[in-house]
Structure 1
Amino acid sequence: MVAKWVKFQILDTERQDWTRGYDTARQYFEREGALDVPYEHQEGAYPLGRWLSDQRRSYRAGTMSSTRADELEELGMVWDTADTAFAENLAAARAYYTEAGTLAAPRHATALDKPVGQWLTNLRRSGGLGKDPKRTARRAEQLAAIDPDWNPGGLGWTVDWQRHYTGLRVLLAAGGTLDEILPGVTYRGDDIGRWLARQVRDWTRLNPEQQHRLGEVGVKPAVRPQKTAARVSAKGAGAAKDSDAFTRA
């Protein structure tokens, strides 16, 4: 009798959990028209995104009843394993962006216990978003919705440049000035001051869009010394000496 009672309690609790999760998913579907829920999304205090992820795991493991699977499919549930993993990593990318202000993460970066830096690096490689054109386009749109510059290689510069540029903007937005951002001034471990000095020095090596973005925050190329004027002055001085020598003679 005790064993039966315990089993009943476990089953009843599990049934209640399912009912609450399904009802929450249904309410979300009725409001949004789809069940494309980010992993970290909460409906009120209920972790709907995580609950749906758990249902996908149950479905893949073959432990979900066909009745429950049918009920979720009526709400537009997507069972695709790859899309599920992508959604979970996308949640980590959002969390990282909230912290750093960019998706130009270094490879070692993590968020929500996910290796988001390496994940983003893999996505930027040729074919990294998948082989299916529709899925590739959808994933690119999802990433661009977080950070339009998530793939700076397509713009003509590196992830490292984008990360430092973001750091510069953050420091300026916090009240810093360009004169104060000297070598040794850092943001999230990157030496923004040293990077800024290099941009000013090597301005002509930057592409027009890089120059435009830096110009928007007040950065200007280094002023080159006027060597021509110096040479003219030197010649003039030499001519004066020759004239003095002629006069003395």
Structure 2
Amino acid sequence: MIAKWIKFQILDTERQDWTRGYNTARQYFERESSLDVPYEHTEGAYPLGRWLSDQRRSYRAGTMSSTRADELEELGMIWDTADAQFAENLAAARAYHAQAGTLAAPRHATALDKPVGQWLTNLRRPGGLGKDPERAQRRAEQLAAIDPDWNPGQLGWTVDWQRHYTGLRVLLAAGGTLDEILPGVTYRGDDIGRWLARQVRDWARLNPEQQHRLGEAGVKPAARPQKTAARNNTKTGATKGSDAFTRGVVALAQYIRREGKTVVGRQHVEELPDGTSVRLGIFLTNQKSRRDRLTDHQLTALANLGYHWAQ
């Protein structure tokens, strides 16, 4: 009699409770296609979130039967909610990589309605993959399976550098040439041409692996100008002034060709393909104020660009 009482009052009641919870979970999954249920969520009056939490606790403690575990797994049970959230963001990371070819996403980037850029930024921080070493290692391997260079800081360069380098590779793979990738040529909003000019100019500042990767793409450092001894200070000053004027005219021609006008704001700075910056507004003002000291060649160069005061 005692055995029967235990069977009907305890075992059967527990079985009925589990069946009710399972059926409620199944109905929720059929509607939401997920069992990522908040702890406080109720289905009608049934505390589904708490029931699922109890099942996870039983599973971790080893007191759940294999039959019940199998039934819940077939239903889509999420045993670890932290890993479930990571898996959702990882899916968004795959979607972003499929579009951009890299996981060096800017912070504002999104994919599958997930803030994947900020998520990746958080993961790259110390301890961002979690305190559990095994879990952190597993997550790092999952990210590396998508993009081996997902964390450029470990390689010695920034996320920004990695993203621009990827843009360069994509443009070259699409049939572009290095001669065509000039400032103003962009990929997904990044000016790859301007970035490339800086790499050529500042080659010595790159680490060996960066130089190697750029070299494989055909990029070479800028040729170092040969140094010649100046005969006298006057000639050296004149040469420097002539070079500055030439750069100014080149920048001015580039600006006019792009903007279709000769008026330049005083604070405007123009970037040349070699990465040189020219304070174009100030350059133009200076030439106009000292036009009586310009050579005929210099005046002609300015007049040919449309500046009547140089004629």
Shared fold, TM over 0.5 = yes
Determine whether 1:84 maps to 2:72: no
The offset of 1:57, in angstroms, is 2.1
1:83 and 1:226 map into 2 onto residues whose CA distance is 59
Matched residue, 2:217:
217
Residue 56 of structure 1: CA displacement?
Answer: 3.5
Q: Contact 1:56–1:79 (CA<8 Å) still a contact in 2?
A: no
Q: Distance in 2 between matches of 1:123 and 1:192?
A: 26
- Residue 178 of structure 1 corresponds to 178
2: distance between equivalents of 1:155 and 1:169?
18
Q: How many residues align?
A: 188
Cα displacement (A) at 1:159: 0.1
2:193 and 2:173 map into 1 onto residues whose CA distance is 15
Query: Equivalent residue for 1:57?
Result: 37
Structure 2 residue ranges without an equivalent (≥5):
1-21, 40-47, 56-66, 233-311
Q: Match of 1:147, as an amino acid?
A: D
Is the contact made by 1:92 and 1:112 (CA closer than 8 Å) also made in structure 2?
A: yes
1:141-220 equivalent positions in 2, closer than 5 A? 141-220=141-220
- Structure 2: which amino acid aligns with 1:100? A
Q: Structure 1 regions of 5+ residues with no counterpart?
A: 1-13, 23-49, 236-249
Q: CA deviation at 1:80?
A: 1.0
**Aligned CA distance change for structure 1 residues 118 and 58 (closer, same or farther; 3 Å):** closer
- Asked if structure 2 preserves the Cα contact closer than 8 Å seen for 1:109 and 1:116, the reply is yes
Amino acid at match of 2:94: R
Q: Distance in 2 between matches of 1:70 and 1:92?
A: 28
TM-score, normalized by length of structure 2? 0.55
Q: 1:75 to 1:18 in 2, by over 3 A?
A: closer
* Whole-Å separation in 1 of the counterparts to 2:221 and 2:200: 5
Paired residue secondary structure (1:177): coil
Q: CA deviation at 1:74?
A: 8.0
Structural RMSD (CA)? 3.0
Q: 2:100 is matched with which residue?
A: 100
Instruction: Output the CA distance in 2 between the equivalents of 1:107 and 1:100.
Output: 14
Computing the radius of gyration from Cα coordinates, the structure with the larger value is 2
Which residue identity does 1:143 align to in structure 2?
A: L
Cα deviation for residue 69 of structure 1 reads: 5.5
| TM-score, L = length of structure 1 | 0.68
2:131 corresponds to 1:131: yes
Alignment of 1:107-126 (within 5 A): 107-126=107-126
Q: 1:30-85 deviations in whole A, cap 9, x for unaligned?
A: xxxxxxxxxxxxxxxxxxxx83xx12427871355968665225899551111111
Q: Partner amino acid for 1:132? A: D
For 1:34, the equivalent position in structure 2 comes to: none
State the one-letter code of the partner of 1:178: L
- Output the amino acid matched with 1:219: V
Cα distance in 1 for residues equivalent to 2:137 and 2:203: 34
CA contact (8 A) 1:183 1:197 kept: yes
Aligned-partner residue type, residue 57 of structure 1? V
**SS of alignment partner, residue 35 of structure 2:** helix
One-letter code aligned to 2:188: R
Q: Which has the higher contact order (CA 8 A, sep 6+)?
A: 1
Q: Tell me how far apart the structure 2 counterparts of residues 196 and 82 of structure 1 sit (CA, whole Å).
A: 40
Q: Is the 8 A contact 2:35 2:76 kept in 1?
A: no
Deviation at 1:187, TM superposition (A): 0.2
Q: Write the distance in 2 (CA, Å) between the matches of 1:186 and 1:169.
A: 12
> Identity of paired residues, percent?
79
